[in-house]
Structure 1
């Protein structure tokens, strides 16, 4: 196998970068790869470089680690480019949650659609297209772009249609949902098979088999309702399973954002969520979680560095797709996974141009999607509502058309269930002005947006949301971990 260079953009996402590198290094053929790490933060980059270098040294591997804030240099000659960026960081993300709350829109995550996810896409897409330009110009010919960054569908859509590079969008919702189903059914390793298809974060387990036996709706409902934990944490998912007949990949909190029936009235939210962990529906839950993890990492970096000094165990390789895709492309060992790609008829009742998440197989010949899947009609209808929002959002991000951006937000299912058009127009103006430094495509629209805000008549309120928890300090996180480990 020829020399292999893997560039990771947004490598300052330290924990995730560490996991990706460890997974890749578990493949014997990749012992001498070059990891080219790049990020806009020299501080984070230095930390992750130290961690990956320690992994390589402890395991006596010939792998090479480079780190630079010069993205183009990192991409030179790369065969694979992996992106896990968060454009605007936690500062912009805080606005994605805070500003919609002023208009009554209560989001748990806000990074896929909803007002927050749409604005997140506006920040990401211009940067994604810059990545693609560099890949076309300086990476190895035919290089693959593996996108882990949200909003997954929008980023992948833009990279394929406008970036013109070989792009695969990757998420782990399918794996996590499959693990839940295996647990409630009591499936052992290798005993559960499934077909999961739809769009990212609205992917559906349309065929579930235990030891080859097809599992029906009633059996799956009974299994989840009998589970002592999931019966309380996954109320939205279980309700949707009852009404649609299939289980969703997405967490309780995330799914509640895409289906407006569960978050449109504040007094209803507590009925459907669980506050035992952020992922089950807490207001701004993922923002709180990521803030706490950043603070913890900054404080406990020496501990994380020490933990990196363990011998790699291929048996503990994670189920993140990236290492398995690279292994299949380079060695020919076939990998079956669920990938984000252009539909092009794969799912028969979704538009050809949209980005789907569906089963596929990877080998030396590339990615081959399994075609001919038809979603249950309720699932397809739910996906269509998001697809139309995604399409408008991508086109707005590429063209800088603020009116189209407002139309996209207006058509978002949760926003549309809460806000009238006048409220949406003012909310978008406020978000674009607040995030102007990350939205170069809207530079010409800023003056008018500021003028409209100065004369705005929509009344807003400062509201923490229906189910908010405060960001905990590092000492509280340590104590929580101690109690869990006890």
Structure 2
């Protein structure tokens, strides 16, 4: 068995995500001797991340080769793993996804993975991802395609149905849920184990247990949650009290899928902090440039594992380590038996040299499955609209979405966002 990887990282110009991956590859996992090919359309961002990767690899004393290219197809031959962390003009188009529906009276918490925003994120993203995957099918058909990009559920569903690649999506949402539970329980996160199943950003914790003893922590959580600060994630806690299990991964994400999700913002259309995001990105780029120039000190946390699982999946599949990964987005095929088979679900996975193996935790409680089934239908129609570039199917996806409460608004939003995203919408199959 080959024990060195060729990892092709598409979208490597992303400074924050690139740093996260480097931290885990160099300071948490054994990927010595491997080659990492960074791919991005922005040569300046690409050069910055290559320099950062080489600096961190040297600090870790890890023998890896870091290459760069703006030519994706040139990078792919021989790849064992292909990572995707891309988005098209992310902040500008996401802002349209949020503000145009808001103008027409549609309330979205984020406008990213659900509602009209989630639809158009899907419409413009899937053609690009299928371009990547068609190249993988041709040039490195045995590679594992690891997706980090949103909308995770819809990307993995589309590839499961229409592509011939091995694919898994990874998201840190379950760790956010564990953090929330730990906050209420007033315990360190590392002392808590969680097991969840459901949809990406809409998982439900089926088990919450003490890491050392295996004791069920749900009774204590219910006791402490009842008197906890009511301002802390009120929507998720309303669902917890109604359905009996803890949902992931925070009010803004959960609220994307629900007609009453806007209540998470106290009835105000707050949305994403685009200005704050731009400010943090600029500050982080300046920090990276300072470290690379030798005028700034490298923060200690840059040399510590991030806790994400991308590098863990690579190492497990490379070295046949048969590792349990807390959560992965996979094509269902019965992993959650009371959700449709042709859907992407998020469940625990086992990774080894044979690939990615979903771990079924059995059926979800019936009321939760029925709640998720509504969103499942929305996601299925959105994927069909995107892969067939169908405006008719896109309208149907809007009209069954619980976030959309007006046919007139649905049609107006469809027309406006379709024109904005027209350059990116095209049939994938």
Task: Name the TM-score, length of structure 2 as normaliser.
Answer: 0.91
Between the aligned partners of 1:138 and 1:246, the Cα distance in structure 2 is 44
State the Cα deviation string for residues 151-181 of structure 1 (Å, max 9, x = none): 0111111122222100001111011111222
Partner-residue secondary structure (3-state), 1:105? coil
1:25 and 2:26 matched: yes
Separation in 1, partners of 2:35, 2:95: 35
Aligned-partner Cα distance in 2 for 1:286–1:249: 20
Q: Distance in 2 between matches of 1:242 and 1:430?
A: 39
TM-score for the superposition, normalised by structure 1: 0.81
* Matched residue, 2:63: 62
2:217 alignment counterpart? 215
Match of 1:277 in 2: none
What is the rounded CA distance, in whole Å, between the counterparts of 1:355 and 1:74 in structure 2? 28
Distance 1:396 1:329 in 2: 34
Partner of 2:399: 410
Instruction: Tell me by how many angstroms 1:334 deviates.
Output: 3.1
Deviation, structure 1 residue 12: 1.4
In structure 1, what is the Cα distance between the partners aligned to 2:392 and 2:75?
A: 37
Quote the residue 1:165 is aligned against: 165
Residue 436 of structure 1 aligns to a residue whose secondary structure is helix
- Judging changes above 3 Å, is the alpha-carbon distance between structure 1 residues 272 and 221 closer, same or farther for their aligned structure 2 residues? farther
Q: Is the 8 A contact 1:90 1:287 kept in 2?
A: yes
The CA distance in 1 between the partners of 2:119 and 2:173, in whole Å, is: 20
Does residue 1:323 correspond to 2:311, yes or no? Answer: yes
CA RMSD of aligned residues (A): 2.4
**173-182 or 394-403: which moved more?**
173-182
1:408 offset after TM fit, Å?
A: 0.4
> CA separation of 1:57/1:136 partners in 2, compared to 1, >3 Å: closer, same or farther?
same
- 2:374 matches 1:385: yes
User: Shift in Å at residue 224 of structure 1?
Assistant: 3.1
Unaligned runs of 5+ in 1: 274-281, 443-486
The answer as to 2:346 corresponding to 1:360 is no
How far apart, CA to CA, are the structure 1 residues paired with 2:328 and 2:266? 33
Q: 2 CA distance for matches of 1:396 and 1:195?
A: 33
Which residue of 2 is the match for residue 457 of structure 1? none
Structure 2 CA distance for aligned equivalents of residues 312 and 61 of structure 1? 18
Structure 2: distance between partners of 1:312 and 1:297: 14
* Alignment pair present for 1:339 and 2:328: yes
Could you list the runs of 5+ residues in structure 2 that have no partner in the other structure? none
Checking the alignment, whether the CA contact within 8 Å between 2:196 and 2:204 is kept in structure 1 is yes
Aligned match of 2:266 in 271, 274, 278? 271
**Change in CA separation of 1:53 and 1:372 when aligned onto 2, cut-off 3 Å:** closer
The CA distance in 2 between the partners of 1:330 and 1:289, in whole Å, is: 39
Structure 1 residues 332-481: aligned runs within 5 Å: 332-336=320-324, 337-371=326-360, 373-415=362-404, 418=405, 420-441=406-427
Report the CA distance shift for 1:151/1:28 in structure 2 as closer, same or farther (over 3 A): closer
- 1:300-311 superposed matches below 5 A: 300-303=287-290, 305=292, 309=298
Change (3 A) 1:189 1:208: closer
Shift of 1:435: 1.9
Of 331-340 and 110-119, deviating more is 331-340
The alpha carbon displacement at 1:251 in A equals: 1.1
SS in 2 for 1:407: helix
Please give the alpha-carbon distance, in whole angstroms, between the structure 1 residues aligned to 2:232 and 2:137.
Answer: 45
Deviation of residue 362 (structure 1)? 1.6
**CA positional deviation for 1:8:** 0.8
**Aligned 1:26-65 pairs, distance under 5 A:** 26-27=27-28, 29-65=30-66
Residues 398-448 of structure 1 show CA distances to partners (whole Å, capped at 9, x for unaligned) of 111101011101211112xx3x22221121011010222222449xxxxxx
Is 1:118 the equivalent of 2:92?
Answer: no
Provide, for residues 362-382 of structure 1, a one-character-per-residue CA deviation record: whole Å limited to 9, x for no partner.
223322222251112222122
SS for the counterpart of 1:358 is strand
Equivalent pairs counted in the alignment come to: 422
Moved over 6 A (4+): 310-314
CA contact under 8 A between 2:133 and 2:165: conserved in structure 1? yes
Q: Which residue of 1 aligns with 2:105?
A: 104
Q: Closer, same or farther in 2 for the Cα pair 1:114/1:328, shift >3 Å?
A: same
Distance in 2 (alpha carbons) for counterparts of 1:64 and 1:261: 50
Q: 1:236 to 1:89 in 2, by over 3 A?
A: same
Change beyond 3 A, Cα 1:153–1:313: closer
Please say if residues 26 and 313 of structure 1, whose CA atoms lie closer than 8 Å, have aligned partners that are also in contact: no
What corresponds to 1:294 in structure 2?
281
Q: Deviations over 1:273-328 (max 9, x none)?
A: 8xxxxxxxx723153443223333344442353578578998x3122111111121
Structure 1 CA distance for aligned equivalents of residues 397 and 333 of structure 2:
23
What do residues 99-120 of structure 1 show as CA deviations (whole Å, max 9, x unaligned)?
1111112323221121111100
8 Å Cα contact 1:93/1:287 also seen in 2 = no
Alignment check: 8 A CA contact 2:235 2:264 kept: no
Structure 1 residues 421 and 23, CA, compared in 2 at 3 Å: closer, same or farther? same
Does the 8 A contact of 1:9 with 1:37 survive in 2? yes
- Show CA shifts across 1:231-280 (max 9, x none): 423111111111111111111112122121232xxxx565368xxxxxxx
